[in-house]
Structure formats: structure tokens, C-alpha cells
């Protein structure tokens, strides 16, 4: 019987290389293709996410990925052009591929609750990957309408209203969506946009998506637009 010899130094180095290997790139477009499917009620284009129908989404999603160095991505657009779809892909793709603390801020707490029940909950149920990460039994336990935590505890989504300063305090979030920014109004603590921005200030590689349809005399994001 032949004698098989192993090089312990090589084995140790290979194990160290595997442990220190960088994570794969965060591909939000690819994630959307694999995991997002629209119903007839949700979209005039029912079925799996098709990037060919929304070619201008690809550069925005690339910028929202963890590998792009930009910190703030601003989208000022007309109505019904898919800003919420982009925000949802950013939120849920990040929760799956690059988990951590995530803040999703709506104009009001009422908007936040409505989005959670009518948009977020169906998406969590409809995707195999998300159903595994956010199982129903988990959402019935520690989670609530305004807080969703991964089953393994590696990430969470905090859903807030800009009109509630308490929901924008005492949390640090590496990534966030500021949705319908033009409808945000000053709350009892002052400027909600500044309050939300400060929640990511401690993170060197934070990512903030500011998404809005500008209104007459509305709040406009004071950042370069993509």
C-alpha cells in the first residue's frame, strides 16, 4: 500500500488563504434577476425581474453595491419610474449578500407600516432566499412590523418614519434608504434628513440611497445626482 504524505505547512497556508479570501462582489442586478418576481398587481411587467426592461437601473444598482466607493446615491425622478423597486432591491439584496444594520426611512410612520405590510412582507414570502433568512416564525417572535431581523442575527432592517425623531435616534446603521424625500417635513427635533444622515456617520463605507419625486417647493437632496 503506498504511503501518502501531506505537507502540514501547505495545508495551513491553504486554510488561512481560504479564511482570508475576500467575499464575492455584491451583484445587486444578478440578485434581483434570481430573487425578484412581480405579480400582475404590482407591475405592468409581471414575472421575474428583467434588466432589459429597465436598463437605466443597472448603473444605479452598481453604485449602490458595496464595491462602489460612493457614499450617497441620489435619484430625483418623475413618478412611477421604479425608484421604490430600486430601493427594495438595494434593501433586500444587501440583507442577503452583505448583511448588517439597515435603516429604511419613509416620510411618516404610517407610510412605513403600510410599506412593511404591503410591499416588504410579500417580498419576504415570495423569495426562497429571503424566506430562509426571514422565516415566518422569526417574524412572529422577535421581529415586528417595523423591525425585521435575519434568523442568524447577522443583519436587520429597521423601518422608520421621518416624522418620528425617536425612531431616528440611538441607532447606527451602515446602509439606509431615505424614500420619498420630498415629502419629509421637519419633526419636533428639527431636520429629519440630517438626523437620518447622522445614523450612518460613524461608518467609513456607509451607503445612503436618497430617492424622491420632486414636488413644488419640495425638499431636494443637496447631493450630486446619479
Whole-prediction pTM value? 0.84
* Helices and strands per DSSP (H, E), number in the chain: 9, 8
CA atoms within 13 A on the CB side of 34: 12
Q: Is 162 helix (H, G, I), strand (E, B) or coil?
A: coil
What residues make up the domain containing 126? 23-212
Residue 158 sits in a domain whose CATH number is: 3.40.50.300
- Residue 17: inside a domain: no
**11 vs 163: which has the higher pLDDT:** 163
Instruction: Please report whether residue 192 resides in a domain.
Output: yes
pLDDT in tens, 7-58: 878 887 787 776 777 777 889 999 999 998 888 877 788 888 999 988 989 9
Total domains in the chain come to: 1
Q: How far apart are CA 202 and CA 155, in angstroms?
A: 17
3-state secondary structure of 132: helix
Q: Is residue 4 part of a domain?
A: no
Amino acid at each position: 500500500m503506498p504511503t501518502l504524505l501531506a505537507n502540514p505547512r501547505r495545508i495551513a497556508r491553504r486554510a488561512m488563504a481560504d479564511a482570508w479570501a475576500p467575499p464575492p462582489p455584491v451583484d445587486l442586478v444578478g440578485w434581483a434577476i434570481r430573487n425578484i418576481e412581480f405579480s400582475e398587481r404590482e407591475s405592468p411587467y409581471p414575472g421575474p425581474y428583467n434588466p432589459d426592461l429597465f436598463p437605466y437601473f443597472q448603473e444605479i444598482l452598481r453604485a449602490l453595491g458595496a464595491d462602489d466607493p460612493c457614499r450617497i446615491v441620489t435619484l430625483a425622478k418623475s413618478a412611477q419610474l421604479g425608484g421604490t423597486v430600486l430601493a427594495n432591491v438595494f434593501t433586500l439584496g444587501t440583507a442577503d449578500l452583505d448583511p448588517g444594520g439597515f435603516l429604511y426611512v419613509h416620510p411618516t410612520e404610517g407610510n412605513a407600516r403600510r410599506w412593511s405590510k404591503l410591499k416588504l412582507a410579500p417580498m419576504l414570502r415570495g423569495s426562497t432566499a429571503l424566506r430562509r433568512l426571514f422565516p415566518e416564525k422569526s417574524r412572529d417572535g422577535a421581529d415586528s412590523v417595523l423591525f425585521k431581523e435575519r434568523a442568524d442575527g447577522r443583519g436587520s432592517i429597521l423601518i422608520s418614519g421621518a416624522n418620528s425623531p425617536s425612531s431616528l435616534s440611538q441607532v447606527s446603521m451602515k446602509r439606509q434608504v431615505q424614500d420619498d424625500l420630498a415629502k419629509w417635513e421637519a419633526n419636533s427635533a428639527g431636520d429629519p434628513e440630517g438626523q437620518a444622515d447622522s445614523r450612518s456617520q460613524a461608518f467609513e463605507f456607509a451607503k445612503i440611497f436618497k430617492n424622491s419625486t420632486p414636488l413644488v417647493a419640495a425638499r431636494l437632496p443637496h447631493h450630486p445626482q446619479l
